[in-house]
């Protein structure tokens, strides 16, 4: 008989106009890794926040280790051994690894911090977990995978019984995910119960024992991984079978629209390439290879030290992103929370900001014209943004739906060149396909796309041509018939 660690009884959470969760019932067994799946806005993060005490449920009870609670407070959840790694990082960047691990329960000697002791304990923890990490390094100097591992170490040091991970691998590339997984497997061996959320379904099949599916805030089913395949899982999630993974683009390539020649700045070295009208140019590479830095330079967000760029044959020197937008180049950034949207404004305000001069007749007015409303509603529908209406604050949307707002905002600018930095990170399987289709349509209209992606299948499935970056330079270019995961990885790891 399996022992139940966590039992959810009729849990619901209501917001004005939104049933984020509605009458959820299921159990998590001790020692299992249990996935929660569902489309953007299905209620996964809301559920997690209820378990960790971050929000109070509107109805229902939580049974943990045999005790029943109608709600938990965060310190109480922590004392029970519930730890969480949220969708957004919660580490303090300028503190060291050890300081982060013991943050909030620092070890003291008298009234001073006992750094030596904390460092020793952190070192022991590293050894136990078989992690090779400089525990005195500042967290902001670590790669994302290791930051994520510090989050896990923090949880482990608290002797977590239940470790909840909300899209922990979203910012990680293939290699980093493997490093991260090896740590998770150690925890599994030690009997830690894990709740795992990810939009990368392969990960669920690789790591989890059972999976529970939510759809529109409702419980759909719980299955063991052995009795279900990817196709069935998707149909539980979206209530239908999906079309192919990628729309077949077959884009017609036109003349060169953007030419980048010997571009160099503090993060990239001597980068040259051309972008053609109507093509989707993929950009691959490992995290830190300089991909984001390259597109930031093209977008005028970072200055060039040397090199030239030509846009439709004329020299192009953006000094600010405004210059790039004016010239018809748009960027959908990787770090959407900080660069993409204003959380305290509504969906329509966010979207209209980028198109203000295109269709606003009353500048600085919050009353939307019919044209603007039509724009906003068009993208809410096309991107399937889950919201009661366009006046909802972006802060109140689920993680994936916030990202769709950023996409909509940039699509609405109708730029001729669109740069997508990790376009589908955190986006559910159903919506991914919609975004791919949108990208193909954009290319068919004779516009051009540069797409940075760390997801190999996406890079291979969507690109007409791929450039691979490594160490701030272009390591190679692949034509469609040369595409393969091995070849991309090989180029990505050249020095
Ligand atoms: N504070 C809030 N006010 C109003 N609605 C909210 C609030 N928080 C969440 N919601 C809504 O609740 C629903 C569930 O959101 P939740 O963040 O749990 O989704 P999710 O399954 O984690 O999605 P994703 O995969 O995009 O992260 C969404 O429709 C969201 O807009
Ligand atoms: Mg979420």
Residue 297: which H helix or E strand, with range? Answer: helix 291-298
List of residues 6+ apart from 338 with CB closer than 8 A: none
Cβ(157)–Cβ(102) below 8 Å: yes
Residue ending a domain, choose from 238, 265, 298: 238
Residue ending a domain, choose from 211, 238, 265: 238
pTM of the model: 0.78
Residues 180 and 207 occupy one common structural domain: yes
Domain assignment of residue 251, yes or no: no
Cβ(13)–Cβ(46) below 8 Å: yes
Mean pLDDT of the chain: 87
Cβ(111)–Cβ(135) below 8 Å: no
41 lines ligand 1 (CB under 6 A): yes
* pLDDT of amino acid 88: 66
Domain assignment of residue 247, yes or no: no
* pLDDT of amino acid 413: 78
- Return the SS3 of 103: coil
Pick the residue whose CA is nearest to atom 1 on ligand 1.
396
Residues 174 and 261 occupy one common structural domain: no
Cβ(481)–Cβ(320) below 8 Å: no
Residues 185 and 40 occupy one common structural domain: yes
* pLDDT of amino acid 354: 60
Residues 228 and 281 occupy one common structural domain: no
Domain assignment of residue 160, yes or no: yes
Residues 120 and 266 occupy one common structural domain: no
Kindly state the average pLDDT of the residues 427-448. 87
Question: 87-130 pLDDT, tens per residue?
Answer: 666 788 899 999 999 988 888 888 888 889 999 999 998 888 77
Q: Which residue has the higher pLDDT, 131 or 317?
A: 317
* pLDDT of amino acid 338: 66
Residues 212 and 284 occupy one common structural domain: no
Pick the residue whose CA is nearest to atom 17 on ligand 1.
398
Positive or negative torsion for Cα 450, 453, 458, 463: positive
Measured distance CA(439)–CA(450) in Å, rounded: 10
Residue ending a domain, choose from 238, 267, 282: 238
The CA 399 to ligand 2 mean position distance, Å, reads 5
391 lines ligand 1 (CB under 6 A): no
Please provide the size of the chain in residues: 495
The CA 87 to ligand 2 mean position distance, Å, reads 7
Measured distance CA(171)–CA(52) in Å, rounded: 22
Share of the chain above pLDDT 90, in %: 47
Residues 412 and 485 occupy one common structural domain: yes
Domain assignment of residue 210, yes or no: yes
List the beta bridge partners of residue 7.
Answer: 27, 63
Total count of domains within the chain:
2
- Token readout for 373 is 């409303």
Q: Which residue has the higher pLDDT, 412 or 139?
A: 139
Residues 287 and 233 occupy one common structural domain: no
Domain range enclosing 318: 256-492
- Token readout for 68 is 């029943």
Kindly state the average pLDDT of the residues 457-469. 93
44 lines ligand 1 (CB under 6 A): yes
Domain assignment of residue 248, yes or no: no
Is 293 a residue whose pLDDT tops 60? yes
Pick the residue whose CA is nearest to atom 27 on ligand 1.
399
- For residue 393, the 8-state DSSP code is B
CA separation, residue 395 to residues 60, 89, 147, 334 (Å) = 25, 16, 24, 18
* pLDDT of amino acid 337: 66
At 375, the pLDDT band (50, 70, 90 cuts) reads confident
Q: Could you write out the three-class secondary structure of 46-86?
A: HHHHHHCCCCCCCEEEEEECCEEECCCCHHHHHHCCEEEEC
Kindly state the average pLDDT of the residues 240-263. 80
Measured distance CA(38)–CA(44) in Å, rounded: 7
Which CATH number characterizes residue 276's domain?
A: 3.40.50.300
Domain assignment of residue 245, yes or no: no
Cβ(360)–Cβ(374) below 8 Å: no
Cβ(48)–Cβ(398) below 8 Å: no
Domain assignment of residue 292, yes or no: yes
Kindly state the average pLDDT of the residues 59-63. 96
Residues 277 and 414 occupy one common structural domain: yes
Residues 220 and 295 occupy one common structural domain: no
The CA 217 to ligand 1 mean position distance, Å, reads 9
Which of the given ranges, 167-181, 300-314, 425-439, has the highest pLDDT on average? 300-314
Lowest mean per-residue pLDDT among 85-89, 100-104, 214-218, 234-238 = 85-89
Residues 216 and 333 occupy one common structural domain: no
At 433, the pLDDT band (50, 70, 90 cuts) reads confident
Which atom of ligand 1 is nearest to 39's Cα?
A: 25
* pLDDT of amino acid 368: 60
Domain assignment of residue 213, yes or no: yes
Residues 120 and 265 occupy one common structural domain: no
CA separation, residue 27 to residues 6, 9, 58, 252, 452 (Å) = 6, 9, 19, 52, 39
15 lines ligand 1 (CB under 6 A): yes
């Amino acid at each position: 008989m399996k022992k139940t660690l966590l039992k959810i009884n009729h849990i619901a959470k209501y917001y004005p106009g939104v049933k984020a969760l509605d009458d959820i019932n299921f159990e998590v067994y001790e020692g299992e890794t249990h996935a929660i799946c569902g489309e953007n806005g299905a209620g996964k993060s809301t559920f997690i926040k209820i378990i960790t005490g971050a929000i109070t449920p509107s109805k229902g009870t939580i049974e943990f280790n045999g005790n029943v609670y109608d709600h938990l407070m965060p310190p109480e959840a922590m004392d029970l051994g519930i730890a969480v790694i949220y969708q957004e990082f919660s580490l303090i960047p300028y503190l060291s690894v050890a300081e982060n691990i013991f943050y909030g329960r620092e070890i003291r000697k008298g009234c001073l911090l006992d750094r030596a002791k904390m460092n020793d304990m952190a070192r022991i923890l590293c050894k136990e977990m078989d992690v090779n990490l400089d525990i005195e390094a500042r967290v902001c100097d670590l790669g994302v995978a290791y930051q994520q591992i510090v989050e896990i170490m923090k949880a482990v040091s608290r002797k977590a019984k239940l470790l909840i991970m909300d899209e922990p691998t979203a910012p990680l590339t293939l290699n980093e995910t493997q490093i991260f997984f090896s740590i998770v497997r150690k925890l599994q061996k030690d009997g830690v119960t894990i709740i795992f959320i990810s939009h990368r379904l392969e990960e669920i099949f690789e790591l989890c024992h059972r999976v529970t599916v939510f759809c529109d805030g409702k419980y759909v089913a719980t299955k063991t991984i052995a009795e279900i395949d990817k196709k069935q899982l998707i149909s539980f999630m979206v209530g239908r079978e999906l079309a192919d993974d990628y729309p077949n683009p077959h884009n017609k390539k036109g003349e060169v629209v953007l030419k980048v020649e010997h571009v160099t700045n503090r993060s990239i070295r001597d980068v040259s390439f051309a972008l053609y009208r109507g093509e989707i140019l993929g950009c691959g590479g490992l995290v830190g290879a300089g991909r984001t830095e390259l597109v930031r330079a093209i977008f005028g967000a970072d200055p060039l030290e040397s090199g030239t760029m030509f846009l439709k044959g004329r020299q192009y020197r953006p000094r600010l992103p405004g210059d790039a937008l004016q010239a018809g180049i748009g960027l959908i950034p990787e770090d959407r929370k900080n660069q993409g949207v204003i959380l305290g404004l509504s969906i329509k305000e966010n979207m209209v900001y980028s198109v203000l001069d295109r269709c606003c007749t009353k500048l600085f007015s919050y009353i939307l014209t019919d044209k603007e409303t039509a724009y906003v509603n068009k993208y809410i529908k096309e991107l399937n943004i889950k919201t009661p209406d366009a006046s909802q604050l972006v802060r109140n949307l689920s993680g994936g739906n916030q990202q769709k707002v950023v996409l909509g905002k940039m699509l609405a600018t109708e730029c001729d060149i669109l740069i997508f930095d990790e376009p589908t990170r955190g986006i559910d399987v159903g919506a991914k396909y919609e975004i791919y289709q949108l990208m193909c349509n954009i290319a068919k209209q004779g516009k051009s796309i540069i797409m940075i992606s760390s997801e190999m299948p996406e890079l291979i499935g969507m690109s007409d041509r791929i450039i691979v970056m490594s160490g701030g330079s272009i390591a190679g270019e692949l034509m469609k018939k040369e595409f393969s995961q091995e070849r991309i990885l090989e180029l990505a790891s050249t020095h």
